[in-house]
């Protein structure tokens, strides 16, 4: 099961990290929630294979450390989600469907 495409309706915004909105529940280090709005990454699903970061044509993503998370010790953060061109490449290549891009959420 991938990221909930309706997370912004089904989850509560619990704060911000590095200028990126965070949607709960959050209980570090095991549960980190969804990060981003227009480009959203479910940190609890992300396995940090880096395909989205390496292939994004406009460099939306950066690495952030998430020590102690059961899936991986780092995640891709949609740091520059405002630069997203809606090509959907990140959505298509994510091996665990941890990313959602939605033009109506900006």
For residue 105, what pLDDT is reported? 64
Is pLDDT of 17 > 70? Answer: yes
Over residues 87-99, the mean pLDDT reads: 96
From residue 54, give the alpha-carbon distance in Å to each of 4, 14, 46: 24, 29, 15
Domains (ranges, CATH) in the chain? 7-101 (3.30.70.20)
CA 29 to chain centroid, in Å, comes to 16
Q: Which ranges constitute the DSSP H helices of 1-106?
A: 7-10, 51-55, 89-93
pLDDT digit string (tens) for 28-76?
999 999 999 999 999 999 999 999 999 999 999 999 999 999 999 999 9
From residue 63, give the alpha-carbon distance in Å to each of 7, 35, 54, 104: 22, 13, 11, 25
Tokens of 47: 């396995």
pTM: 0.95
In this prediction, what percent of the chain has a pLDDT beyond 90?
Answer: 94
64 DSSP β-pair partners: 75
For residue 1, what pLDDT is reported? 77
- The answer to whether 50 touches 89, Cβ cutoff 8 Å, is no
């Amino acid at each position: 099961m991938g990221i909930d495409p309706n997370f912004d309706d089904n989850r509560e915004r619990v704060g911000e990290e590095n200028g990126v909105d965070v949607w709960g529940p959050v209980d570090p280090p095991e549960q980190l929630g969804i990060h981003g709005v227009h480009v959203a990454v479910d940190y609890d699903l992300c396995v940090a294979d880096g395909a989205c970061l390496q292939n994004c044509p406009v460099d939306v993503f950066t690495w952030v450390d998430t020590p102690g998370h059961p899936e991986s010790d780092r995640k891709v953060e949609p740091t520059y989600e405002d630069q997203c061109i809606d090509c959907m490449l990140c959505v298509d290549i994510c091996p665990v469907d941890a990313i959602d891009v939605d033009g109506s959420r900006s």
